[in-house]
A and B are shown apart, each in its own frame.
Chain A
């Protein structure tokens, strides 16, 4: 351990057993995380488009498609913003851009193509050209066999959803706003019921 750090730590010796102080300060630190999620919303509490820099792996058109798909899977509702506000597509793009093999990249590129093809078959237009209800109809079709996916588009949906759920529920919005997670903070006492109840 660095000397500088230990010297600094020793100056805090008096605070060591001051539990109230510890938990109060740590509590503030934890709630700061929840508060930071707020600026991602506009006045109506609805998600706004957030992508500012160029995607790392997807083309801009693919990125827009992924962004829309993630928002359909986990949309904004009255309780919290959705996958778009949580920048799920940005995280998926980053992780795909550095994937160790080309396999996932290929799967995603082909999967997105299939989404557009199915949209063309169903509605005579690409996914992004389709109306909101038409888009949901396309996703319903590829999500139809989620527990036992057979067709390539069904398999793609499982991966799309897994990545979306992972990205969303590990984001600030997912953890703090949507799930209102209470942990990862310093407590004075364990929560829960007394074991002898």
Chain B
């Protein structure tokens, strides 16, 4: 490795006799942000992560060429990635009775996956049951931020106040003005690239140097402009300029190929929780970290009903321990935090901690994806090769439905992520018919001429979409697993039809030859944007948390991940998760100082 990199600072030794100010469960975007905010405020924090601390740079090998790897980047043959067909035809638990030694979620099948096999979980150890769902989990320090897609978008009052606009669901207990200062803080702390567009429904961030567009993307953008629609460079949660305050991260050097092995950036230009949040938090001297610590229950004081800490299992030894804290903060991911709350039953909390409303696990929502379009930009055929993928992302088409006008078939909206130009592997080599010199020349000539985009749409938060605890099945550590009761509904299906149609219409408007219109909806869960299982709200009967992600029932319990979101909007949630968490942890620290927790 040529670039300068610092290794992690040392965290304090775990003292299980001590009562920490806060114990944080999970070390991804939310848990990292909680640890960062609270330690900066002088609180003594214990951070528990279920997975290992991996030598991540050595896992990712971001610049290794395919031919430098014995299987050209693919996994060993005794490992298997679950395919779309398996997700659809079979029922969870998908790894049950599998002959393979290890079974992984679909992301391991992305063109080259030997680099993330230790990052995403083995489904054999982590089963779940119920309806079809592609649940992607990463158990390691930093969680899914190690391989996230990097699209970093803000929500607006079109989302926070969506019920006021169309009557469906619930409004959030906050407005854009409440969270805007925290979005700004996240932008400046972590770095984000993009171009200001002044769209009320997709507020701008404080952007660093933008990603550039290819000729094909400019062509599409000009076509969209005629329709009153917008194409903007990918708003990547990537430092495109050096962050002077963070010595663990480099700026982006445009090496590209960021998507070829389920993401991952070994120079940490892309945000990840360890280098962006946790290592800086360690430097305060206020953070204690324990990995391989799977939390199985939030412990409750039998007199007061308050949280007194957590029980966790050392995943190496199988031994159970207790960690004590004044405040318990769940940041284990939308579904794992709900699972933990439901598992934490006590005399005072017979339905699970913080669940007097019965809404924990419910209102589960996410993004529907699949429909999109692939096209050919004819004037790019046969042109000299250009470097088109030296970027951490390509472009984004923000939502355009149900803004000023009401669509007759569905409510809410969707946006498109897309890309174009040359990639390291020419995908058309597989799909293009023929053989011989003609075939070879066609693959070569067409390699930079393709453009594609796919939609991400809001799945409505519905009470009847939920998870609960399976009465029988347990994971490798004996912890009961989640059971899914989750299906896309009518609104999503109608929206998906429109996604494909509008994608086609936009390419046509830009004069791009359409090669394929994809109408297939991918399995529930595919977007890896699960949200909503412990939503915020002001009504104690229909919500789990207040506007500061604090449990209505248990004042010293906070749930700071995506489970708190009231609706999914159609924007990728990571930036909102971190902005909300920062806001809540500021409040938490104030309350603790005042002695109100």
Contacts and interface: CB of A to CB of B under 8 A. Distances in A.
A178 to B, nearest CB: 6
Contacts of B4: 9-10, 12-13, 15-16
A25 B1 CA distance: 11
A133 to B, nearest CB: 12
Nearest to A167: B72
Contacts of A16: 3-4, 250
Best-surrounded residue of A10, A179, A195 (most CB of chain B within 10 A) = A195
A100 B79 CA distance: 9
A191 B388 contact: yes
Interface stretch (A44-52, A56-64, A71-79, A116-124): A71-79
A197 B214 CA distance: 11
Contacts of A136: 436
Contacts of A3: 7
B390 A98 contact: no
Interface in A1-49: 1-3, 5-6, 9-10, 12-13, 15-17, 19, 22-23, 25-26, 29, 33
Interface in B420-459: 422, 424-426, 429-430, 433-437, 439-441, 443-444, 447
A169 B240 CA distance: 30
Contacts of A171: 66-67
B66 A175 contact: yes
Contacts of B7: 1, 3, 5-6, 9
B46 interface: no
B218 A193 contact: yes
Contacts of A53: none
A1 B56 CA distance: 9
A43 B72 CA distance: 29
In terms of DSSP, what is the predominant structure of the interface of chain B? loop
Contact of B436 (A10, A23, A72, A95): A72
B189 interface: no
B6 interface: yes
Contact of A186 (B255, B430, B444): B255
Given A5-B7, A181-B424, A99 B253 contact: no
B157 interface: no
Contacts of B429: 165-166, 168-169
B233 interface: yes
A187 B385 contact: no
Given A1-B55, A196-B195, A182 B386 contact: yes
A79 B444 contact: yes
Contacts of A29: 2
Given A5-B7, A6-B7, A15-B4, 15 more contacts: A3-B7, A10-B4, A10-B6, A12-B4, A22-B3, A79-B440, A98-B76, A100-B78, A146-B433, A170-B72, A170-B425, A175-B65, A187-B387, A194-B212, A195-B233
